[in-house]
Structures are given as structure tokens and as C-alpha cells.
């Protein structure tokens, strides 16, 4: 039996684990942790076997589907893109689950924790292997729901409850756009098929991609501009991705999401929720590549987010917040990589997903290390830390490896380097080519400056946390092995994964869209007017080396400032630039207080409130009238059987008259 | 297969009924528990036999009986409901000395319902109708020391007798006008019915006769009293099973025999269905007895299903049939939950009255989580929340109504669904948001099993409706083709 036949178990097992742990976890060992661990192990094994099989037989894509209702189906599609995502998600999630056994040891609500993380994993795996956009949306929403539950895991804390609400509401803006995109797509396909198709499933990726040229041909007038439906749909899809993947300006929920347990942060920021947006764009990339305007938006917004978030990461004093902004910044790089489809065509998917996978390893590791520090020391304010390296050598070394990978250390022009180096540099190089070709230099400048800041903030974090002397009194010890073992495994991946897979990865992902039998690069050239480059590597030497030079510069400067304290960088707290960045560009003031509270709540909402009160009165009046009517009719129901019989006879007579009248009228 | 073998399911049930009655004579009260298992096994065997013959198609015994997709569809609905009820009754009849009578009556009622589904002649239909009715009259009064139960049975019986008389009166007019009681033959002569004023009278009398079982307003008044007073398991059989018998009879008579009167009937049914659903929902708003609330909700649901008689398009009948199937699970399940709650309250206090009062549902989620969760699913399904059977049924039925151009009717039905959400959600509020008043009670296995089975049914129909809709469509084709 081919391994693909077991694909349905990949999301199903964690789903079962969710049910079992939720209801029976209390009575089990470690709050039922072993159930999701076992389930996800199996999911991982199946995913891995499918991936290995695909590596050997690139044509053995798993594609199964059954009728759902109407012209929609439930289905599984595992091509190389989905396969690597499945393997990575199940693997990282598995390690985080194992780590959680130690980390959550003292928490009373362990069953709820493990049940919710299992649900989260199930939703993410389901999202990845969906073969149609509708099913994907269902899982997309499930991911949102379970992240809401997990961020608000300690719902007793008001800050956690409000962070969960913020995450939910902010991503909801993206979700609505995504849904709007699906609706437009649906109506377009409905028009193209001339109704419901007989022998095809609507909204299946195959059908969507096969009709790209027709959709591109439809256009709508928006504010006087002629906009192609394809551009509209892809922009709306991208809007969904902006919300889920924390791109500017919908990134505000992500730093607050740190209110959950650190393991949840690792799960959300590394393996699951935030990558869903990037995956959505990658999954529907044939549509994006045929919509040039959208692709430019993605490139600019991705690059901008990469830089913007990095500037904020450099002034944060909270371990987890630095990492949160770092995640936003790295997601920006992934989006930027996808936006490079304009020069490198479909290879952009491989480029971006490669960084996504590497990021999953080193970012999960960073969070787990941070969790390990917090678990031992009890604080996550870096100003109170220092010298933790001596107490926790394994944590210090693994976190250093993750930091090197994030900062991008390696030897340009070769395949020797940390995972993060190999994938991030490829994106930056692509951005350079993009600039050269289209003279849009901004994305490249964003990316390269971001690279410098990335190195600076991560080494600032490492120096402040692990070196020097403790700044407050605390005692710590190395974490238990259930926590360190996953860390060491992830460290190995952060260091070596890139080196072993770099060439293979893009070749493998190159086969991703083979299932639709179209030459997508050709489609891109015809609809997108791109001139695709088929050879890379002709960049000047300085361009190749620049990211590394900047990374080293970042390391040196932070070394001098935070370790040797040679440079005094104590900027005045009143320095306007510092204040601007430290206050996170006043986003909170502008977006939350200014826009949300002043404009939406006080302005719009109060105005509507008065209208609504009128409507409300009517609704209430209807409600009470109905209830009154209910009470009144109740008296008709006397309980006296004679009355009932009378009602029947009267009913018969009236009915006879009624039918007679109808007959006369007709 | 043909001839008698096609009636193997009915024969199995009859045989089980006789065996249960006979064995019961020789058993002492403690060991009578086995009878419940026996009855359930018989029903299960019958269900399997029916499933094996799903696509049978035959007319036999001088054209008095027919086996086709429609009859098989309804038989399966009846058998599923009966199976749920009978498994749950194993607990209900525990330590009762009249177990054999109880199960025999249940089984005979089911045989009656199944025969109605198969009848092809008005007289056979009437006799089968009576077999089911008389068995359920006795069942409603099964708690012979409970005044409420007796009162409910008495009312049910008197109104039932009156309705039977009306129905028989109607049948006699039809026979007088058409010269036959055979349903397809009436269809051929139905032109005569249209031309005569007596035709109207006969139809109205038949509507009253079936409307009694369906609980159409104004023939519904017995239903709340009877559903409330009868043992909950019996209410479950009445609301989920016996009500459907009214529907299958109405489908056969109005859509096959009296097809010539289609246009006249359409409007009358439209008015009846609007009044029925609105009145049912509005009264349900103010009920504090859960069983009474469910009874009115059941009246309202009858109103929705009757929309199939108004639209009469293949899709609408499919929707009506699918609704009937879904309703079997939802309503049977909901009444069984009241049975479990009644069991819980009575086990604490033998003398308790009004055991189905909403107050007794407070904090049910803590006290009996399985029952509370099932109840939540059932009431949400009844209200038509997506991913449940109720939603899909309403979706198919209402959309077919819109397709047929009867937008006003669909709007009224949808508004009604909105009203109904209030009283359904209220039950959930009591179960989940009020503190529990008492200890956790372990749920008896037979009850828990049936509830879980019904929940699974509701969810499967809601999540995977396609094959069942297909099946309902085949059954609907029987009505359309003739």
C-alpha cells in the first residue's frame, strides 16, 4: 500500500489526540502529554515517508478527494511544497511538545494545554494538505481559533486575555480579506464554468490555476482604475497572509502574543500560525506570478516589514519581544522572497520556503532557549539578566548557534554556512537582481539594512543575557533533558540543515506545480510581462559579501557596546529617534488609541449607536411582543380536551372554506 | 427477492414482539431486563434486513402493498428511531414488572408505522395507522400510577379517535367518488374528485386525519400535553417516529392519489405551514418545561417540513425527506436527554414533580457532561446551526423554496428559525452557564450509548449530507414519477 494512502491520518491523529487529551488528560501521566506526542510522532513519520518517496519518485504526488457538497470537495494534495511543510511543521511541533513536558510541569491546566496544542497542530497540518481553497480557509480559521485559545492560555491574566483578543481581531481583518478573495474567485469561476461544473470541483487548486488566464481577463472598475480580477483576488489573498504572517500594518498582534506560555510562542512564531500566510501565497503562487502588480506590492511590503521590525527589535528589553519583532522581520524576508517571482519566476517559491523552513528551526530554537532561561531564572527582562551563560551552558551554546544562523554567518559563494545564511542571502541576492532589472532598488536596500540590524539585535540579546555579571540576584540551573534534547536537535538543524539541502531543496520544490500541466513561467511572462533571469550568480563580489560584512559589523559593534563596554551608546532617553523607535513608532497611539478608539469607537461607533438604539428598540419590542404572544397563546392551550376537539372541528371547517375560496380564486 | 421475503423486516419485528411477550410471562422482574436487549436486537436485525433491500421495488398482494425507495427510506427512519428509543428504554423499564408489555407495544407501533410506509391502499393505510396509534395510546399511559401520564394518554386517545373518525370519513368520500381505495387508481380517477364539492370535504378530512399525527395547527393541541405527560422515551417515539408516519401517509395520499388537486392544495398547505411554524415557535418561547418546549418546537418543525407540500418540486421533497431523517435523530435525541435528566432527578428524589423543568437543567454540563453536550448538539441542530443535520435540512428545503419562487415563504421560515434560536439557546445557557445544583451523576450506559449514537447521526448528516441527500432524492423520485 503506498504511503500516500495514509496521508489522511496526518491531521486526523492530532485531532483525535485533541479529543482524548481534552476529555481524559486529567487522569493520564503528565496531563496526557504522551497522547499528542505519540500522534504527532506518527504524523511526522508519515509526512517524512511521503517526502522521501516524493524525493525518489517526483511524480508520485498524493492527490485524493471526495465529494463534500455541491461542487466542493474535501481533498488532500501533497506535492513537494506541502510535503516539506508537513514534515517541518510536524517535526518542530513534536519537539515543542516534548519540550513542553518539562516546561509546563508545574502548570495545573496541562490537559487543556496539550489538547489545544494538538488542535493547533492538527489545524496547521490540515491547512497544508488541503487541495482546495475552501477547505484551506476552514483550517485557516481553525488555526486562528486555536491560536486565540493558546495566547489566552492563562486567561486569568488580563494582559493575556486582551492579547488573545487583539491577535484574534487583528488577524480577523486579514481573514475577511481572504474570504472576500475566495468569494470573488468563486463568482469568477462560476461565470467561467457557466454554473456549477459537472465533472470538476470548484475552488480546487487545479481548477483555479487552470483558469488563471480567464480570471486575468476579467476586470473591475475601482475608484476609476481598471483592476484585473486576478490582481484583486491575489491582493485580497495577500491581505489574509498579511494578517496571519504579521506583515506591516497588521503585525501589531504578534509582539503581544508573547503573553502565552513561551512554548506557545515557539509554536506560533516558528512552525505554525505565522507561516500559514507565507504558505498561502506560495500555494497559490501561480496566481500571484500572473498578477504583476500584486507581486510588486508583496516585494515592497515584505522588504519594508523586514527593516521596520528589525529597528524595533533593537531597542526592546524583553527577551521574548526581541524575538517577536525578529519573527516579523524574518517573515518580511520570506514575503520579499516571494515577491522576487518577478525576476526568478517560480523559483521564488523554493527560495522563500527554504528560508521559512530554516527560520522554523532557528526561531523555534531561539524561543525554546529563551523559555529555558525564563524557566530557570524567572524573568525575561534583559536588563535584569546577565551571565546566564555560566549557569546554563547548553542553553547558551544552542542559543548562540541559533543567533549565528539568524544573523547569517557563512562563506558567500559556497554552500558552507549556517542554514539562515544560505536562505537569507539567496533572498537578498534575488532582491539585488530585482533592483538591477527593474530599477526598484528599495526592496534591496530594505533587505540589506535589515540584515545589519538583525545581526545587531540578536547579538545584543546574546551579550546582555549570557555574558557579564548578573544584574540582579538569581540562581539558575540547566533545564531538564526533556527541554535540552529538543534544543540540541534544533541547534543541529539550524547549523547543518541548509548545507545538506541547499541545492536539492530548490530542485525538489521546482516540481511543486507539476500537477497542473502548465508552463507557469511562460504564463508569467505573458501575463506579467517579466523577463525572467535564468542564471544567477553574476553579481559583483561586493554584493555577495556585503550581507556577511554587515553581519560581522553588527556583531563587532554590539560586542564593543554590550560586552567590552568600550563604546558608550547610552543615548539620551529623550533622543527623538530613540523615543520614536522605543515607543514602536507610536503604533499603539496611532492605531489603537487614534484610529480604533477615537475614530472607530468614539466617532463611528457612537454615531451608529444612536441609530442602533432605534433598531434595538424595535428588535426588543418584537422580542417582547413575541414572548407576550407566547404567553397569550398559552391560554388557548387550556388543557381541556373538549376544547381541543372543538379546535379540530373548527379547523376542518375553516380549511374547507379556505380551499373553496382558493379554488374560486384560481 | 419478492413476495413475503420483502416483508422480512416487518415479520422480524412482529416475531420479536410475540417472543418478547411470551418470554416475559416466565421471567421474574429482575431478569426481565433481557427483554429490552431482545427487542433491540430484533429492531437491529430488521434494520439490517431493510438496508439489504434498499433498492427493492415491487407492488404485491393485489396492489395493496408496495416496497419502493420511499417506503424503505421511511422504514429506516422508523427503525432507527425505534432502536434509539428501545435501547434507552432498557434503563427506563428497569425493575418494572410490565417490561414485556412495554416492548411489545413499542415493536407493534413500529410495525404499524412500517406498514403505513408500505401501504398502497387507503384501507391498509388506515389499519396500519390504527395499529401504530393504538399501541402508542397505551404507551403514553404506561406509567399507570402517574396521573399526568394517564391524563396525557387519555387526551391523546380521545383526540386520536376523533381524528381517526375524520380520516375514515374522508376515505369513505374518496371511495365514493373514485370508486376505489387503491392509491394509484385513485390518481387516475382524481379528476372526479376535483369536479365534485365533496372532493374538497374529503381532502380536508384527510388533512385533519394526518395533521393530527403530524401536529399541524390547529390539529396539534394534544401534542404538548401528551409529549409532556408521557414517559420521555415514549415522547421520543411519538415526536420522532409516529409524527413521520403522518408525513409518509400525507406524501402518499396528497402527492400520488390527489395529484390532480395540486394547485388547490398548495395554497392551503402554505397557509397551514406558516401558521404551524409561527405558532409553534412563538409558544415555545414562553415554555419552562423542556418537554413542552420540545413539543412546540416539534410543531414548528412540522411546519417547516410541510413546506415540501407547498413547493412540491423534486428538490423540495428531497429536502422534506432529508429533514424527516434529520429530525428523527435530533428530536429523538433531545427527548432522550429529558429522559436522562428525569432519571437523574428521580434518583435523587422519588417524589419529584415536573422533572423536565428548565431549572433541572442548571449546570447539567457539570453533572452529566455527555447528556449536556448531546443536548447542545441536538438543540443547535434543531435551530439549524451549520455542520449539523438541521442546518443541511433547512438549507436544502429553504433553498428549494426560493428556487421555486416562493421567496416570501422562505423568508417567513428563516425568520422563524431566528426566533427559535432564543429558546434553544436558553437550554444551552442553563446547562453551561449556571452553576450545578447537585453532585455529578454517572450516566447510565444505555442512555449514554443512544445519545452518542444520535449525536453521531446528527453530525454525519450535517457534515456529509451528500449520500443521504442522494438517497432522499431517490425516495422523492417515487413520488414525482407517479
HEC string for B316-349: HHHHHHHHHHHHHHHHHHHHHHHHHHHHHHHHHC
For residues A473-485, average pLDDT: 75
Question: A544-603: per-residue pLDDT in tens?
Answer: 777 778 878 877 777 777 766 665 555 556 666 666 666 666 666 666 666 666 666 666
ipTM of the complex: 0.80
CB-based burial, A105-117: b 16+ in 10 Å, e otherwise: eeeebbbbbbbbb
Distance from CA of B95 to the nearest CA of A (A): 32
Contact criterion met (CB < 8 Å) for B466 and A629 = no
User: For A652, which of B155, B205, B265 is closest by C-beta distance?
Assistant: B205
Residue A12 contacts B where some CB pair is shorter than 8 Å: no
Q: Residue A666's closest chain B neighbor by CA?
A: B264
For residues B310-320, average pLDDT: 89
Question: A478 by DSSP, 3-state: which?
Answer: coil
Q: Select, from the ranges A233-247, A276-290, B248-262, B453-467, the one with the highest average predicted confidence (pLDDT).
A: B453-467
Cβ contacts (< 8 Å) between B224 and chain A: which residues? 637
Cβ contacts (< 8 Å) between A22 and chain B: which residues? none
Question: B72-112: per-residue pLDDT in tens?
Answer: 999 999 999 999 999 999 988 888 888 999 999 999 999 99
Residue B419 contacts A where some CB pair is shorter than 8 Å: yes
Q: Which of residues 644-663 of A touch B (CB under 8 A)?
A: 644-645, 647-648, 650-652, 655-656, 658-660, 662-663
Most A CBs within 10 A among B140, B215, B264, hence the mutation to make, goes to B264
Residue A439 contacts B where some CB pair is shorter than 8 Å: no
B218 pLDDT more than 70:
yes
Cβ contacts (< 8 Å) between A650 and chain B: which residues? 218
Question: A197 by DSSP, 3-state: which?
Answer: coil
Distance CA A95, CA A371 (A): 14
CA A418 to chain centre: 24
Contact criterion met (CB < 8 Å) for A647 and B218 = yes
Rounded to the nearest 10 degrees, what angle do helices B8-25 and B99-118 cross at?
Answer: 170
Question: A369-420: per-residue pLDDT in tens?
Answer: 888 888 777 777 777 777 777 778 888 888 888 888 888 887 777 777 788 8
Residue B208 contacts A where some CB pair is shorter than 8 Å: yes
User: For A658, which of B212, B219, B268 is closest by C-beta distance?
Assistant: B268
Between residues B338 and A228, which one has the greater pLDDT?
B338
Residue A195 contacts B where some CB pair is shorter than 8 Å: no
Q: What is the 3-state secondary structure (H, E, C) of A614-656?
A: HHHHHHHHHHHHHHHHHHHHHHHCCCCHHHHHHHHHHHHHHHH
Percent of chain B with pLDDT over 70: 99
Contact criterion met (CB < 8 Å) for B279 and A633 = yes
CB-based burial, A424-449: b 16+ in 10 Å, e otherwise: bbbbbbbbbbbbbeeebeebbebbbb
Mean pLDDT of chain B: 89
Distance CA A553, CA A225 (A): 46
Residue B310 contacts A where some CB pair is shorter than 8 Å: no
Contact criterion met (CB < 8 Å) for A68 and B166 = no
Considering only A63-77, B63-77, B319-333, which range has the smallest mean pLDDT? A63-77
Burial of B144 (0-12, 13-18, 19+ CB in 10 A): exposed
Mean pLDDT of chain A: 80
Between residues A197 and B423, which one has the greater pLDDT?
B423
pLDDT band, residue B1 (cuts 50/70/90): very low
Rounded to the nearest 10 degrees, what angle do helices B262-285 and A606-636 cross at?
Answer: 100
User: For A633, which of B282, B422, B464 is closest by C-beta distance?
Assistant: B282
Q: Which of residues 138-167 of B touch A (CB under 8 A)?
A: 154-155, 158-159, 162-163, 166
A634 pLDDT more than 80:
no
B126 pLDDT more than 90:
yes
Question: A280-335: per-residue pLDDT in tens?
Answer: 988 888 888 888 888 888 888 888 888 888 888 888 788 888 888 888 898 899 99
pLDDT of the residue at A1: 66
pLDDT of the residue at A593: 62
Distance CA A632, CA A626 (A): 10
Q: What is the pTM for the complete model shown?
A: 0.64
pLDDT band, residue B379 (cuts 50/70/90): very high
pLDDT band, residue B333 (cuts 50/70/90): very high
Cis peptide before B218 (omega within 30 of 0): yes
Q: How many CB pairs under 8 A join A and B?
A: 92
Cβ contacts (< 8 Å) between B218 and chain A: which residues? 647-648, 650-651
A470 pLDDT more than 90:
no
Contact criterion met (CB < 8 Å) for A643 and B208 = no
Q: A65 φ, ψ to 5°?
A: -155, 155
Residue A610 contacts B where some CB pair is shorter than 8 Å: no
Percent of chain A with pLDDT over 70: 86
pLDDT of the residue at B19: 94
Percent of chain B with pLDDT over 90: 49
Q: Residue B284's closest chain A neighbor by CA?
A: A630
Listed in sequence order, the residues at least 6 apart from A495 whose beta carbon sits closer than 8 Å to its beta carbon are: A401, A404, A405, A418, A419
A605 pLDDT more than 60:
yes
Cβ contacts (< 8 Å) between A633 and chain B: which residues? 279, 282-283
User: For A656, which of B155, B201, B285 is closest by C-beta distance?
Assistant: B201
Listed in sequence order, the residues at least 6 apart from B314 whose beta carbon sits closer than 8 Å to its beta carbon are: B473, B476, B477, B480
Is A345 in contact with A530 (CB distance < 8 Å)? yes
Between residues B418 and B259, which one has the greater pLDDT?
B418
Contact criterion met (CB < 8 Å) for A633 and B283 = yes
Residue B205 contacts A where some CB pair is shorter than 8 Å: yes
Residue A537 contacts B where some CB pair is shorter than 8 Å: no
pLDDT of the residue at B98: 87
Contact criterion met (CB < 8 Å) for B163 and A631 = no
Distance from CA of B390 to the nearest CA of A (A): 15
For residues A232-241, average pLDDT: 89
Between residues A528 and B348, which one has the greater pLDDT?
B348
B471 pLDDT more than 80:
yes
pLDDT of the residue at A571: 57
Q: Which helix (H) or strand (E) holds A292?
A: helix A292-313
Cβ contacts (< 8 Å) between A666 and chain B: which residues? 263-264, 267
Cβ contacts (< 8 Å) between A637 and chain B: which residues? 221, 224-225, 283
Listed in sequence order, the residues at least 6 apart from A298 whose beta carbon sits closer than 8 Å to its beta carbon are: A238, A281, A288, A335, A336, A338, A339
User: For B263, which of A634, A660, A666 is closest by C-beta distance?
Assistant: A666
Question: A131 by DSSP, 3-state: which?
Answer: coil
pLDDT of the residue at A635: 67
Cβ contacts (< 8 Å) between B154 and chain A: which residues? 641
Question: B19-78: per-residue pLDDT in tens?
Answer: 999 998 888 888 888 899 999 999 999 999 999 888 888 888 888 899 999 999 999 999
Q: Which of residues 364-403 of B touch A (CB under 8 A)?
A: 392
Rounded to the nearest 10 degrees, what angle do helices B290-311 and B314-348 cross at?
Answer: 170
Cβ contacts (< 8 Å) between B287 and chain A: which residues? 630
A525 pLDDT more than 50:
yes
Contact criterion met (CB < 8 Å) for B218 and A634 = no
pLDDT band, residue B298 (cuts 50/70/90): very high
Contact criterion met (CB < 8 Å) for B283 and A634 = yes
Domain ranges of chain B: 2-481
Most A CBs within 10 A among B193, B285, B418, hence the mutation to make, goes to B285
Contact criterion met (CB < 8 Å) for B159 and A644 = yes
Question: A343 by DSSP, 3-state: which?
Answer: helix
Contact criterion met (CB < 8 Å) for A637 and B201 = no
For residues B317-338, average pLDDT: 93
Is A246 in contact with A254 (CB distance < 8 Å)? yes
Most A CBs within 10 A among B157, B162, B202, B204, hence the mutation to make, goes to B204
Residue B219 contacts A where some CB pair is shorter than 8 Å: yes
User: For B465, which of A69, A644, A659 is closest by C-beta distance?
Assistant: A69
Amino acid at each position: 500500500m503506498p504511503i500516500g494512502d495514509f496521508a489522511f491520518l496526518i491531521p486526523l491523529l492530532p485531532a483525535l489526540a485533541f479529543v482524548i487529551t481534552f476529555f481524559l488528560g486529567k487522569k493520564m501521566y503528565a496531563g496526557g502529554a504522551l497522547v499528542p506526542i505519540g500522534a504527532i510522532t506518527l504524523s511526522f513519520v508519515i509526512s517524512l515517508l511521503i517526502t522521501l518517496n516524493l524525493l525518489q519518485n517526483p511524480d508520485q504526488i498524493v492527490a485524493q478527494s471526495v465529494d463534500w457538497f455541491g461542487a466542493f470537495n474535501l481533498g488532500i494534495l501533497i506535492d513537494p511544497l506541502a510535503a516539506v511543510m508537513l514534515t517541518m511543521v510536524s517535526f518542530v511541533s513534536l519537539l515543542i511538545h516534548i519540550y513542553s513536558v518539562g516546561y509546563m510541569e508545574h502548570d495545573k491546566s496541562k490537559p487543556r494545554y496539550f489538547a489545544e496544542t494538538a488542535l493547533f497542530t492538527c489545524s496547521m497540518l490540515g491547512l497544508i494538505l488541503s487541495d482546495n481553497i475552501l477547505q484551506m480557509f476552514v483550517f485557516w480559521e481553525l488555526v486562528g481559533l486555536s491560536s486565540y485559545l493558546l495566547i489566552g492560555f492563562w486567561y486569568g491574566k488580563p494582559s493575556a486575555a486582551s492579547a488573545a483578543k487583539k491577535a484574534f481581531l487583528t488577524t480577523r481583518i486579514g481573514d475577511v480579506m481572504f474570504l472576500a478573495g475566495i468569494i470573488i474567485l468563486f463568482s469568477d469561476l462560476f461565470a467561467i464554468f457557466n454554473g456549477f461544473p459537472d465533472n470538476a470541483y470548484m475552488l480546487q487548486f487545479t481548477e483555479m490555476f487552470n483558469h488563471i488566464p480567464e480570471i486575468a481577463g476579467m476586470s473591475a472598475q475601482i475608484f476609476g482604475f481598471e483592476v484585473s480580477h486576478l490582481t484583486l483576488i491575489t491582493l485580497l489573498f495577500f491581505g489574509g497572509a498579511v494578517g496571519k504572517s504579521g506583515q506591516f500594518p497588521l503585525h501589531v498582534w504578534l509582539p503581544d502574543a508573547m503573553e502565552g506560555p513561551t512554548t506557545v510562542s515557539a509554536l506560533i512564531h516558528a512552525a505554525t500560525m505565522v507561516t500559514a500566510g507565507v504558505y498561502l501565497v506560495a500555494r497559490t503562487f501561480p496566481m500571484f506570478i500572473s498578477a504583476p502588480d500584486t507581486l510588486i506590492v508583496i516585494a515592497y511590503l515584505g522588504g519594508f516589514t523586514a527593516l521596520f521590525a528589525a529597528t524595533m527589535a533593537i531597542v526592546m528589553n524583553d527577551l521574548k519581544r526581541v524575538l517577536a519583532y525578529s519573527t516579523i522581520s524574518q517573515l518580511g524576508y520570506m514575503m520579499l522572497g516571494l515577491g522576487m517571482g518577478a525576476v526568478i519566476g517560480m523559483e521564488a517559491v523554493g527560495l522563500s520556503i527554504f528560508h521559512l523552513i530554516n527560520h522554523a528551526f532557528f526561531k523555534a530554537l531561539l524561543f525554546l532557549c529563551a523559555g529555558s532561561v525564563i524557566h530557570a531564572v524567572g524573568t525575561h527582562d534583559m536588563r535584569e539578566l546577565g551571565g546566564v551563560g555560566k549557569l546554563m551552558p547548553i542553553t547558551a551554546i544552542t542559543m548562540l548557534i541559533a543567533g549565528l544562523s539568524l544573523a547569517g554567518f557563512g562563506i558567500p559563494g559556497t554552500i558552507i554556512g549556517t542554514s539562515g545564511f544560505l536562505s537569507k542571502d539567496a533572498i537578498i541576492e534575488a532582491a539585488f537582481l530585482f533592483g538591477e532589472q527593474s530599477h526598484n532598488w528599495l526592496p534591496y536596500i530594505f533587505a540589506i539594512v535589515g540584515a545589519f540590524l538583525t545581526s545587531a539585535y540578536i547579538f545584543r540579546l546574546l551579550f546582555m543575557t549570557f555574558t557579564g555579571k548578573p544584574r540582579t540576584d538569581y540562581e539558575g540551573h540547566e533545564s531538564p533533558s526533556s527541554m535540552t534534547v529538543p534544543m540540541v536537535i534544533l541547534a543541529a538543524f539550524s547549523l547543518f540543515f541548509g548545507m545538506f539541502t541547499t541545492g536539492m531543496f530548490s530542485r525538489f520544490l521546482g516540481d511543486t506545480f507539476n500537477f497542473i500541466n502548465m508552463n507557469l513561467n511562460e504564463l508569467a511572462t505573458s501575463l506579467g510581462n517579466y523577463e525572467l533571469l535564468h542564471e544567477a550568480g553574476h553579481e559583483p563580489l561586493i554584493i555577495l559579501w556585503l550581507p556577511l560584512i554587515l553581519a560581522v559589523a553588527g556583531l563587532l559593534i554590539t560586542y564593543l557596546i554590550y560586552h567590552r563596554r568600550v563604546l558608550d551608546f547610552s543615548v539620551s532617553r529623550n533622543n527623538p529617534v530613540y523615543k520614536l523607535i522605543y515607543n514602536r513608532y507610536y503604533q499603539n497611539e496611532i492605531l489603537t488609541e487614534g484610529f480604533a478608539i477615537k475614530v472607530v469607537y468614539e466617532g463611528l461607533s457612537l454615531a451608529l449607536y444612536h441609530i442602533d438604539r432605534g433598531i434595538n428598540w424595535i428588535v426588543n419590542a418584537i422580542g417582547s411582543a413575541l414572548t407576550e404572544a407566547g404567553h397569550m397563546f398559552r391560554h388557548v392551550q387550556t388543557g381541556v380536551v373538549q376544547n381541543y376537539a372543538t379546535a379540530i372541528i373548527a379547523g376542518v371547517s375553516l380549511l374547507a372554506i379556505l380551499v373553496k375560496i382558493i379554488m374560486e380564486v384560481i | 427477492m419478492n413476495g413475503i421475503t420483502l416483508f422480512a423486516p416487518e415479520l422480524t419485528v412482529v416475531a420479536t414482539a410475540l417472543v418478547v411477550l411470551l418470554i416475559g410471562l416466565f421471567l421474574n422482574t429482575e431478569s426481565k431486563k433481557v427483554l429490552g436487549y431482545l427487542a433491540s436486537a430484533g429492531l437491529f436485525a430488521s434494520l439490517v434486513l431493510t438496508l439489504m433491500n434498499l433498492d427493492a421495488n415491487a407492488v404485491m398482494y393485489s396492489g395493496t402493498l408496495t416496497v419502493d425507495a420511499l417506503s424503505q427510506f421511511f422504514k429506516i427512519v422508523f427503525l432507527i428511531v425505534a432502536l434509539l428509543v428501545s435501547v434507552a428504554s432498557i434503563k427506563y423499564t428497569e425493575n418494572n414488572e410490565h417490561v414485556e408489555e412495554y416492548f411489545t407495544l413499542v415493536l407493534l407501533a413500529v410495525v404499524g408505522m412500517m406498514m403505513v410506509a408500505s401501504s398502497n391502499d387507503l384501507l391498509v393505510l388506515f389499519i396500519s395507522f390504527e395499529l401504530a396509534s393504538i399501541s402508542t395510546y397505551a404507551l403514553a399511559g404506561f406509567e399507570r400510577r402517574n396521573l399526568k401520564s394517564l391524563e396525557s394518554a387519555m387526551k391523546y386517545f380521545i383526540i386520536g379517535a376523533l381524528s381517526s373518525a375524520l380520516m375514515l370519513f374522508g376515505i369513505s368520500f374518496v371511495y365514493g367518488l373514485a370508486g376505489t381505495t387503491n392509491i394509484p387508481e385513485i390518481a387516475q380517477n382524481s379528476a372526479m374528485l376535483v369536479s365534485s364539492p365533496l372532493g374538497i370535504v374529503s381532502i380536508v378530512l384527510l388533512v385533519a386525519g394526518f395533521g393530527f399525527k403530524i401536529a399541524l395547527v390547529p390539529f396539534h393541541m394534544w401534542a404538548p400535553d401528551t409529549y409532556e405527560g408521557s414517559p420521555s422515551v415514549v415522547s421520543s417515539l411519538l415526536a420522532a417516529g409516529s409524527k413521520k408516519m403522518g408525513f409518509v401517509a400525507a406524501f402518499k395520499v396528497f402527492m400520488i392519489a390527489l395529484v390532480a388537486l395540486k394547485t388547490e392544495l398548495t395554497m392551503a398547505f402554505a397557509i397551514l405551514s406558516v401558521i404551524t411554524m409561527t405558532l409553534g415557535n412563538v409558544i415555545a418561547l414562553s415554555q419552562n418545561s423542556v418537554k413542552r418546549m420540545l413539543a412546540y418546537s416539534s410543531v414548528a418543525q412540522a411546519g417547516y417540513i410541510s413546506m415540501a407540500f407547498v413547493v412540491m418540486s423534486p428538490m423540495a421533497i428531497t429536502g422534506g425527506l432529508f429533514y424527516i431523517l434529520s429530525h428523527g435523530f435530533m428530536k429523538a435525541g433531545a427527548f432522550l436527554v429529558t429522559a436522562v435528566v428525569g432519571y437523574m432527578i428521580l434518583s435523587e428524589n422519588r417524589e419529584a414533580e415536573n422533572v423536565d423543568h428548565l431549572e433541572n437543567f442548571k449546570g447539567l454540563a457539570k453533572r452529566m457532561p455527555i447528556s449536556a453536550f448531546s443536548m447542545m448538539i441536538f438543540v443547535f441542530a434543531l435551530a439549524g446551526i451549520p455542520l449539523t443535520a438541521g442546518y443541511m435540512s433547512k438549507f436544502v428545503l429553504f433553498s428549494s423554496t426560493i428556487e421555486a419562487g416562493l421567496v416570501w415563504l422562505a423568508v417567513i421560515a428563516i425568520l422563524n428559525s431566528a426566533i427559535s434560536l432564543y429558546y434553544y439557546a436558553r437550554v444551552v445557557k442553563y446547562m453551561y452557564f449556571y452553576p450545578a445544583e447537585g453532585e455529578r451523576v454517572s450516566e447510565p450506559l444505555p442512555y449514554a450509548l443512544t445519545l452518542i449514537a444520535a449525536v453521531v447521526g446528527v453530525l454525519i448528516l450535517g457534515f456529509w449530507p451528500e449520500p443521504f441527500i442522494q438517497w432522499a432524492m431517490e425516495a422523492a423520485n417515487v413520488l414525482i414519477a407517479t
